[in-house]
Structure 1
Amino acid sequence: MTDDIDNATAIERRTMLRVAGAAVITGLAAGSTSPGGTAAAQGAGGTPANARDDAPLGARLQGVQHFGLTVQNMERAYQFYTEVLGGTEVFRHGDFHGDGVQNTLLADQEIEANTRSVNPRTIGVPDLRSGAQRLDVRFIQFDNMVLELLQYREADQPMGSAVSFAEPVQHMSPAFPRMMHICFYVRDDVDFNKFIADLETESARRGMTQVRANRTVRVRTEAERKAAPRSANTNRVTEAPSDGWELIYCKGPEGEQLEFVKALGPVKQRFSEALAKRQQTITR
C-alpha cells in the first residue's frame, strides 16, 4: 500500500513538473502572458486576490523547479544524463527565436554590449531576434530535480548539433566567481568508490573523456590519477558540522562541474531538521 502511495505521489510530482516546464517554454515562444491568466491572478480593483502574494518572498516559493546547463554538444550531454546517469526525458522543444525570446533571455547582456559600445556577439550574445541563431532545450527528470539542457546554435545547424554558437570555456575551475556545479545525491546503501569507478568506465566507453573524478590523494598527472587506489575516490568528512558527508568532484562530458554526494549520520539529520523548520515557517 505504501509503495502505491509513493508511486502515485511521484507520478503526480512529475506531471506538475511537466506542466510547469511546458508553461515556461510556451511563455518564451509566445513572448507574452495569457490575458486570462492575468485576470485570474487579480481581484477587484486590480489587487492580488491571493493572500500569499503579501507573504515574504521565501514563502511564495515551492522549491527549485530545475537547473539549466548550456552545452556545446546536445546529443553528447543528453546521452550522459539519460543513458549514463539514468535521467528520464520530460520533453524537448526548440528552434526558439524572435524578439520576445531575445528580450526575455538576453536583454541585460545587450545593455552591457551597448554600454561597452561593442558588438553583442563579442561578449557571447546570440542574435535570436533575427533568427540567425536558435535555442533548443531538453528537460530531464531525476528523482527530486529537473535538469534543463540548453544549446544555442547557428540557424543552419540541425537540432542536437555538436556545434554550438559560442566556444566553450575551457579548464573551468570551481574557484571562479559565479561558477556553479550540479550535485547528484547517491543512495545511502551504494558503494561510493565503486560508483565512481563505474561512472568513469562507462563514460570512457562512450568516448566522454572529460568525465574524470578527482582523488583524495595528490596526483600530478593523468596516469597518477588513474593509478590511485579505488579507496581514494571518496572524501569522507568527519568534522562537524559536515560529519557524514561523502563526496567527490568530477567533470561532466561538456566540462561542466559535477559533484556526487552521500549525506549520512549527523549531516543528514541537520538537513532534515532544517527542512522541517522551513516547512513549519512557510505554512504559518
Structure 2
Amino acid sequence: MSEETDFETTGIGRREVLLTAGAMLAGMAATNPAAANAQGAPRPASVARDSAPLGARLQGVQHFGVTVQNMNRAFEFYTEVLGGTEIFRDGDFQGEPIHNTLLTDQEIEARERHVNPRTIGVPDLRGGTQRLDVRFVQFDNVVIELLQYRDAGQPSGSGDSFAEARDHMSPAFPRSMHICFYVRDDVDFNKFIHDLEAESARRGMTQVRANRVITVTSEQQRRAAPMEANTNRITQGLSEGWELIYCKGPEGEQLEFVKALGPVKKRFSDALAARQQRG
C-alpha cells in the first residue's frame, strides 16, 4: 500500500500531517530554548524591541499637558481661538490607583517636610474629596491635554480648581515649561499676534497677552506698541530664520508662537530626515 493511499484511507492529508509535525517541533523549541537558538530561530520582534536602547522603544512625544483653573475657558481658547479639535473628554477620576499614579512623589515630600499634603497642592483623589477631569485637543502634529483638579462639589468644566494658580510665572523659573505653536510659513506673524489678542479679548480672556520686542513699562504701552513689535526675527547665527514671540495663555500658562524659515527650517528638516533614515 502506498503512502498516499494510507493518507487517503485514514482521512488525513499531507498538509495536516505537516502542520501537526510543525506544531510538535514548535512545542519542542518552546520547551528547549537552546535548541531553538541552535537552529537560528529569529527572536520575536517584541523581545528584540525590549532589549533595544530606551530611545528605540519610544514613538515620540504623545501629548503635552496643561493644568488649568477653568476647564471651559481653556478648552474654548485651544479649540475655538486656536482651532484645535476635541478628541475626547473624561473625568471624575478618583480612587487609590489614580491618586498613587499621579501623586506618590508629592505625598512622600509632604511627609518628609512634616506638612499637610494639601498645603503643597496635593489633592485627595484617594478619598474622593477632589476629582480630576481631562480633555484632549488635537492639532496637526501634537495633542494637548487639559487637566483640572477640583473639589468633588464643584461642577465639572465650570467649577473652580482645587489649587490656586502659582504667582510666579516667569519662564526663567526651573521646571517651567511652555507650549510652542508653529505658525504657517505664508502667515503674517505680526497680524497673527494682533488678531490672537483681539479675539481672546473679545471672549473675555484678558490674560492672553503677547510680549513685544521693544521695551515697554506698562500694559498701556504694551497695547500701544506698533504691530511690527509683535515679532522677534532672528537674522544671524544658527537660529537664522526664526520668528517668535512669547505669550501668556488664558490660564496664565506660557505659550510661544514661532515660524521657522530659511536656514533654521532646513536644520530641523535635515535632522528629522537623518533620524528617520537611521530608523
Counterpart amino acid of residue 51 in structure 1: A
Query: CA separation in 2, counterparts of 1:257 and 1:68?
Result: 12
Query: CA separation in 2, counterparts of 1:50 and 1:203?
Result: 50
User: Percent identity at matched positions?
Assistant: 75
The structural deviation recorded for 1:49 is 4.1
Q: Which runs of 4+ in 1 moved over 3 A?
A: none
Counterpart amino acid of residue 235 in structure 1: N
- Note the residue ranges of structure 1 that are not aligned, 5 or more in a row: 1-42
Query: CA separation in 2, counterparts of 1:246 and 1:95?
Result: 41
String of CA shifts for 1:227-272, please: whole Å, max 9, x gaps: 1110110000012200000001000000000000000000000001
Across the two proteins, how many residue pairs are aligned to each other? 239
Aligned to 1:181: 178
Query: CA separation in 2, counterparts of 1:264 and 1:199?
Result: 21
Task: Decide which of 181, 201, 204 is 1:204's aligned counterpart.
Answer: 201
TM-score normalised per structure 2: 0.83
String of CA shifts for 1:86-112, please: whole Å, max 9, x gaps: 000000000000000011000011111
Aligned to 1:54: 51
Equivalent runs, 1:1-284 vs 2, <5 Å: 49-281=46-278, 283=279
Find the residue that maps to 1:100 and give its secondary structure.
Answer: helix
Query: CA separation in 1, counterparts of 2:70 and 2:46?
Result: 45
The structural deviation recorded for 1:50 is 2.8
Find the residue that maps to 1:274 and give its secondary structure.
Answer: helix
- Note the residue ranges of structure 2 that are not aligned, 5 or more in a row: 1-29, 34-43
Query: CA separation in 2, counterparts of 1:113 and 1:239?
Result: 48
Q: Is the 1:235–1:246 contact (alpha carbons within 8 Å) kept by the matching residues of 2?
A: yes
Q: Is the 1:171–1:255 contact (alpha carbons within 8 Å) kept by the matching residues of 2?
A: no
Computed over aligned residues only, the root mean square deviation of the Cα atoms, in angstroms, reads: 1.5
String of CA shifts for 1:50-109, please: whole Å, max 9, x gaps: 311111111111111000000000000000000000000000000000000011000011
String of CA shifts for 1:14-55, please: whole Å, max 9, x gaps: xxxxxxxxxxxxxxxxxxxxxxxxxxxxx989x994311111
The verdict on how the C-alpha distance between 1:208 and 1:49 changes in structure 2, with shifts beyond 3 A counting, is: closer
Counterpart amino acid of residue 158 in structure 1: P
Counterpart amino acid of residue 234 in structure 1: T
Counterpart amino acid of residue 126 in structure 1: P
